[in-house]
Amino acid sequence: MSKMFCYQCQETARNYGCDVKGVCGKTAEVSNLQDLLVYLLKGVSFYTEKIKELDGEVSSEVNVFIMKGLFATVTNVNFAAEDFEDWIDDALELRDRVARKFQQLHQQKRGEEFTGELPEAATWKPVSPQDIDNKSQEVGVLETENEDIRSLRELLIYGIKGFAAYADHAYILGHEDEEIYKFMQKGLAATLDDSLDADELTGLVMACGDCSVTTMALLDEANTSAYGHPEPTEVDLGVGDRPGILVSGHDLKDFEELLEQTEGEGIDIYTHGEMLPAQGYPAFKKYDHFKGNYGGSWWKQKTEFDKFNGPILMTTNCLMPPKDSYQDRVFTTGVVGFEGLSHIDDRPAGGNKDFSPVIEAAKQADPPEELETGTVMTGFAHNALSQSAEDILAAIESGDLKKFVVMSGCDGRFKEREYFTEVAENLPEDAIILTSGCAKFRYNKLDLGDIGGIPRVVDAGQCNDSYSLVVIAKELAEAVGVDDINDLPISYDIAWYEQKAVCVLLGLLAVGVKNIKLGPTVPAFLSDNVLNVLVDKFGIAPTNGVQEDVAELMS
Ligand code: SF4
Ligand code: SF3
């Protein structure tokens, strides 16, 4: 029997499954504890579904707990066994409270206790710490024997994990939508229901795509109402001569509070990885100590963090197990965790996080070592592109702009990902790349020129800003007068790695996008039959040779 089984990300071992230790560095213990946590969240969701059937209310505490618990299990977010042990204790306690609430409601509305069948996830209780260990090894992915049902259940769960992450960012900024929580719980509970067949689960997977778009729209509203619409921004890649703090991940609220707390402290703030698009927000530009971007995408952190010299704040994924040489400088916050790293606690109600340990560490640090010079562009979210609509339409009409090629998604370590750099280099000069997510680091520093002043790599932002791509496509359809989004001069070559990319992919399918190329590998969690459905229904195709794909993307 394998010690663990996880195949939720693109780098899973042998494109089959990590079964001894995660390629990401996740231990078997943590992987199994994550499985147990997800199992218990399904148990909680079983009861919340029942409560809703009785027209009862689910509390904000429950909604938020499920959302954050799922986020913690996303690839490269949290590697700390002790964090998951705490999550599991809390989940057991919460589940039993929700169960009691359901029974009371049932009694009240139906005049008797519920005596129907309960899934084990809704009832299992440990009597000793060893029970947690044993159970954590029993409740993983492989417990579902039918390969197609397993594939659909996991596809659904990974999509939900993805939008749970986005919903959490929106929640932190004070934006919530009950429908998102409802679908999160409906989807989780559905994976416990053995009566659901492949067609019904496929329906839920498609509905997950709809919910992904809803969540990305909510987050777009949350980000832009708090910080303004991103503006096209030229970002310096060099360094200054003062110590710095490097901020990585996706959380803009952490970024804002850190900027506020470091003002006048003699420290500079740099963005890293998915925080690069923070450079485009008007609200952050007023800070003089907000410097440029340092380094590339997440998988280069082991060399780049060494050279940064100052503290690094990981607000979300992607954290890699740190090297000894810099681990005392890495701070985690939010749902991120790694044993031995310092953690910045959550903000108290109505207050701010206290980043003073990070700031003190920066004051003792040397300035960063220069990695590169030059600049890179970001800040082309939907609002900025709408303002260039006339130029874009003129370029299409004149024939200078033939295609938008959407190359959004994630980056990763695999050598095969050089494919994406080569595609960018080989696309003809009448193509513009629309990007979002850390996939951009494969080509955003190439000198690809512009078309009528519009750069040939248009960076719409983080992976969660992929919503911009939906808005852009819809606005373009309106402007050129086409009804079907697939009749637009837009093609798709998506790079995936973790579960947020799964949610973005399902979101694109939900808005009707067809013929997406997906790489660098086909997800291991897609069974042959499920993959065939995606191919037949949506024309999804694995990435192939560069020349062949470039020709198809331009056709
Ligand atoms: Fe393996 Fe990816 Fe799971 Fe990590 S997250 S254990 S690399 S499949
Ligand atoms: Fe990247 Fe981790 Fe997915 Fe937000 S930072 S896109 S991989």
**pLDDT tens-digit map of 221-265:** 999 999 999 999 999 999 999 999 999 999 999 999 999 999 999
Which pLDDT belongs to residue 487? 95
Contact by Cβ (8 Å): 268, 240:
yes
Which pLDDT belongs to residue 78? 98
| Residue 204 reports pLDDT greater than 80 | yes
Which pLDDT belongs to residue 2? 62
Region of 486 please: left (phi>0), alpha (psi -120 to 50) or beta: alpha
- Tell me the mean pLDDT in the region 12-31: 98
Positive or negative: CA dihedral 507, 434, 253, 70: positive
Split at pLDDT 50, 70, 90, the class of 129 is: confident
Measured from CB, residues less than 6 Å from any atom of ligand 1 are 6-9, 11-12, 18, 22-24, 26, 31, 75
For residue 496 the two structure tokens come to: 């995936």
pLDDT digits (tens, 9 = 90+) for 370-393: 999 999 999 999 999 999 989 999
Centre of ligand 1 from the C-alpha of residue 524, in Å: 11
- Tell me the mean pLDDT in the region 488-503: 97
pTM greater than 0.95 (yes/no): yes
| Residue 541 reports pLDDT greater than 70 | yes
Centre of ligand 1 from the C-alpha of residue 374, in Å: 35
- Tell me the mean pLDDT in the region 471-477: 91
Which pLDDT belongs to residue 321? 98
| Ligand 2 atom 3 nearest Cα | 410
Regarding the beta carbon of 319 and ligand 2, being less than 6 Å apart is answered no
Compute the distance between CA of residue 192 and CA of residue 16 in angstroms, rounded to an integer. Answer: 23
- Tell me the mean pLDDT in the region 22-30: 98
Domains and CATH numbers, the chain: 13-225 (1.20.1270.20), 233-363 (3.40.50.2030), 381-554 (3.40.50.2030)
Compute the distance between CA of residue 30 and CA of residue 33 in angstroms, rounded to an integer. Answer: 5
Contact by Cβ (8 Å): 496, 7:
no
Q: What angle do CA 292, 295, 298 make, to 5 degrees?
A: 125
Share of the chain above pLDDT 70, in %: 100
| Ligand 2 atom 7 nearest Cα | 410
pLDDT digits (tens, 9 = 90+) for 291-313: 999 999 999 999 999 999 999 99
| Residue 1 reports pLDDT greater than 90 | no
pLDDT digits (tens, 9 = 90+) for 428-460: 999 999 999 999 999 999 999 999 999 999 999
| Ligand 2 atom 4 nearest Cα | 463
- Those residues whose C-beta lies under 8 Å from the C-beta of residue 440, and which sit 6 or more positions away, are 407, 411, 457, 459
Closest residue by Cα to residue 154 from 141, 164, 143, 171 = 141
Compute the distance between CA of residue 390 and CA of residue 394 in angstroms, rounded to an integer. Answer: 6
Closest residue by Cα to residue 493 from 474, 510, 513, 479 = 513
Split at pLDDT 50, 70, 90, the class of 480 is: confident
DSSP 479: H
| Ligand 1 atom 6 nearest Cα | 22
For residue 526 the two structure tokens come to: 């897609």
Compute the distance between CA of residue 162 and CA of residue 216 in angstroms, rounded to an integer. Answer: 10
The type of residue at 417 is R
Considering the chain, what is the average pLDDT of its residues? 97
For residue 88 the two structure tokens come to: 């599991």
- Tell me the mean pLDDT in the region 407-426: 97
Atom of ligand 1 nearest to the CA of 8: 8
Positive or negative: CA dihedral 197, 201, 202, 203: positive
Segments of 454-489 assigned E as strands: 454-455, 457-459
